[in-house]
Amino acid sequence: MLKLNNESVTDDQLKELFPDLPAGPLDVYRKKATFDWRRMKLVFDNLTTLKLKNDIWNFMRDNPLFRHQEATPSLDEQRHITTKRMYAIYSQNFIPLTKIGVEPRLFQAEAEALFMFDSSLAVKISLTFRMFSNVIQGSGRSHHYSYIEQSQRGEIGGCFALTEVSHGSNAKGMRTTATYCPDKKQFILHTPDFEAAKFWIGSLGKCATHAIVYAMLISKGKNHGLHTFVVPIRDPKTLKPYPGVTVGDIGEKIGLNGVDNGFVMFNKYHLPKEAALDKFGGVDDNGDYKTPFRDPKKRFGASLGILSGGRVHITSISANYMQKAIVIAIRYSAVRRQFGPDNSSEELPVLEYQQQQIRLVPHLATTFAMRIFCTWFGALHVSITIDNITGGGGGEDAASRGIELHALSCAAKPVCAWSSRDAIQACREATGGHGYLKASALGELRNDNDANCTYEGENSLLLQQTSNWLLTVWPRRHHLTPSDHPLGSLHFLENADHNLTKTCPWTKVEDMMEPANIIEIYKWLSVYSLKTTYEKVSSLKAAGRDNFHAKNESQPYNAVTLSLVYGENFILNHFYKSAADFHEVECRKVLVQLVALYGAFLLEKHLATLYIGGYLSGSQGVLVREAAVRLSTQLAPAAPALADTLAPPDWCLNSLLGHSDGQVYKHLQNIVMTYPGALARPQWWRDVVHWQTYAPSKL
């Protein structure tokens, strides 16, 4: 079901979707490419997803609502236009649920089409419609499903309200209460003070009519912990808040300003008993607490488990941002000329310089790794969710798959968000002055990606989830069976103890350019990181530290690295398999080189640990560095064609530096000459000439 099945796609089908790119200075590089940039798309897309994206893009292109604005609009205007775009897209119903059942990749393909255009729009749709419905689907019962239907018809707009002013990461510390009142069969929702206000809630600032609210369920004087409620916030007919609800906008953010994040406080606000999403537990009419779980921790886990979809989704968002950034930087580097050999009058494209290559090409390789992994990961998550709803999954395997998925998503989200962060920054710097123009689009990508490091779990804290699980696995390493890790993320533990005794047998740069070898090294590194973290925690406990402190004091250089390496190891292996399996030989060759570069680039950051653990010795580390440089140099000529594979249409990418025609200066001229007021004397010119009227001079 998760195979792409692309063998039969014809060139004509692809050409119909992707006409030839405009001729221009990028052609020199395009001609050098040994592979077909369109076919290369089939390593992460198939005809169905490509068509969907094209449909969405064509719709946007032809609709004036989706013209990018040049000058940054005011905060209010950004929210307004994003809201209108949301309804414009949503009302088109590009992927009716029935289609997703057949091709789970469609869900993410739609998101990708949106993120490539504008992240606020994509985030807003996902919060208003998808997340709201998903939570109700996951933790509600049949009488709640009418909300889903109303939401599907766009009659109400949802949001997801967990975080409070003073509590985010520590969900158990939330202080909003929902006190059950058996006389009236109502809950009384209350916010004790501003610190307990729900805060950061996306789409609540201006629009949402309903919220999924997390509150402490109190009944008969007892606090049963955090539970979810569907709470009416604003009248869907007037958008006025209901009495008892104080709701507002949290104001400007670093990025994603099209999304109206909001806050809400409840003043003894009455809800019917049916407002509780009580599939996993709740009170009966009398206020007695009932839950299908014996262990209350399990209930809490199950209700938060629904949120793992958000993390999976974010891996893919990060990949989208990287895609855009790297396309922009590679294309610009291929046309920007600066300096040249002493005896030459022609300057070289900066992509020809080794330093520029090592700054960018590894991020290009990473982008392929991410895109391939995230597409698979997203589709996997959708199929699991469908299985759960239709009852197709279940059983032991489903439980351990859930646990593994949690651990993997808690590692993959930080790995992807940080890879994207580093790539965007590298692209920004490597595009020199012009990359600092707003019109380069790189600033906005950075600002938007930043949120990926924070929401749906602060990266560093998510990594603790992963390492906590891995630490429980280590003592069981000799008895693991495939059903302990249905996704295969623990393969690195096969023969763990034996592998740890190995040292690096390779002595030539070429050896370090071989994906299979790099993967072997990563296996060692993964086992080593787990073992040393386990030992660190054990020794702290042996020295008398309790669990809380032992965990806290084994994070830096141990648990944190462990979780990252675990995530990287999975992504690297997945990339290698996808590359090696790819049906087309010319593309495959390049993909395998990208795998090698991604691997060498990752390894380089862990070189010290490889020495510390005794795996590397002498100057073997130089081989890894040299491999990264050589692979970057070898792949540089192919980079612009690889960028073509990754790029959305020009109007969608909307970057001065990233046009597929490579005519940067022409576009620059066009932009600056037509920018509103560019050539005009400022209206306030008198404040320059006659500054002494407001600033008495002491000069």
Ligand X SMILES: Cc1cc2nc3c(=O)[nH]c(=O)nc-3n(C[C@H](O)[C@H](O)[C@H](O)COP(=O)(O)OP(=O)(O)OC[C@H]3O[C@@H](n4cnc5c(N)ncnc54)[C@H](O)[C@@H]3O)c2cc1C
163 carries a ligand binding annotation: yes
By C-beta, is 315 or 440 nearer to its own copies? Answer: 440
To 5 degrees, how large is the angle CA 75–CA 78–CA 83? 130
Q: Which of 110, 164, 444, 456 is catalytic?
A: 456
- For residue 344, the SS3 value is coil
Cα–Cα distances in Å, from 373 out to 370, 517, 574, 576, 623? 5, 20, 7, 10, 27
Q: Given candidates 48, 150, 169, 634, which one binds its own copies under the rule CB under 8 A?
A: 169
**Binding partner selected for residue 150 from its own copies, ligand X, none, CB under the kind-specific 5 to 8 Å limit:** none
Q: What residues have CB less than 8 Å from 124, skipping those under 6 apart?
A: 82, 83, 86, 202, 203, 258, 259
Task: Please check whether residue 522 is in contact with residue 569, taking contact to mean a CB–CB distance below 8 angstroms.
Answer: yes
> Which residues of this protein are in contact with ligand X, per CB under 6 A?
127, 160-163, 168-169, 200-202, 253, 256, 261, 336, 338-339, 350, 353, 355-356, 430-433, 436, 451, 454-455, 457-458, 460-461
**Binding partner selected for residue 453 from ligand X, its own copies, none, CB under the kind-specific 5 to 8 Å limit:** its own copies
**Binding partner selected for residue 83 from its own copies, ligand X, none, CB under the kind-specific 5 to 8 Å limit:** its own copies
688 lies in the site for its own copies, by CB under 8 A: yes
Q: Given candidates 421, 485, 523, 574, which one binds its own copies under the rule CB under 8 A?
A: 421
User: What's the half-sphere exposure (Cβ side, CA atoms, 13 Å) at 637?
Assistant: 8
Chain-centroid distance, C-alpha 184:
44
Residues 512-541 that bind its own copies (CB under 8 A): none
C-alpha span between 280 and 277 (Å, rounded): 8
Choices 165-173, 300-308, 392-400, 472-480 (CB under 8 A): range interacting with its own copies:
165-173
- For residue 123, the SS3 value is helix
User: What's the half-sphere exposure (Cβ side, CA atoms, 13 Å) at 148?
Assistant: 17
Site string for its own copies, 178-217 (x = CB under 8 A): ----------------xx---xx-----xx----------
**Binding partner selected for residue 457 from ligand X, its own copies, none, CB under the kind-specific 5 to 8 Å limit:** ligand X
C-alpha span between 260 and 78 (Å, rounded): 9
To 5 degrees, how large is the angle CA 212–CA 418–CA 323? 90
443 lies in the site for its own copies, by CB under 8 A: yes
**Binding partner selected for residue 162 from its own copies, ligand X, none, CB under the kind-specific 5 to 8 Å limit:** ligand X
Is 456 in the active site?
Answer: yes
Residues 238-277 that bind its own copies (CB under 8 A): 238-240, 246-255, 263
621 carries a ligand binding annotation: no
**Binding partner selected for residue 508 from ligand X, its own copies, none, CB under the kind-specific 5 to 8 Å limit:** none
Residues 627-686 that bind its own copies (CB under 8 A): 628-629, 665, 668-669, 671-673, 675, 677-679, 681-685
3-state secondary structure 154-219: CCCCCCEECCECCCCCCHHHCCCEEEEECCCCEEEEECCCHHHCEEEEECCCCCCCEEEEEEEEEE
Site string for its own copies, 304-323 (x = CB under 8 A): --------------------
Choices 116-124, 304-312, 478-486, 611-619 (CB under 8 A): range interacting with its own copies:
611-619
Q: Given candidates 120, 139, 533, 555, which one binds its own copies under the rule CB under 8 A?
A: 555
C-alpha span between 532 and 541 (Å, rounded): 14
CB of 456 to ligand X, least distance (A): 6
Structure tokens at 530: 């787990």
C-alpha span between 203 and 185 (Å, rounded): 30
User: What's the half-sphere exposure (Cβ side, CA atoms, 13 Å) at 340?
Assistant: 9
Annotated binding-site members: 163, 202
Annotated binding-site members for FAD: 163, 202
Residues annotated catalytic, as ranges: 456
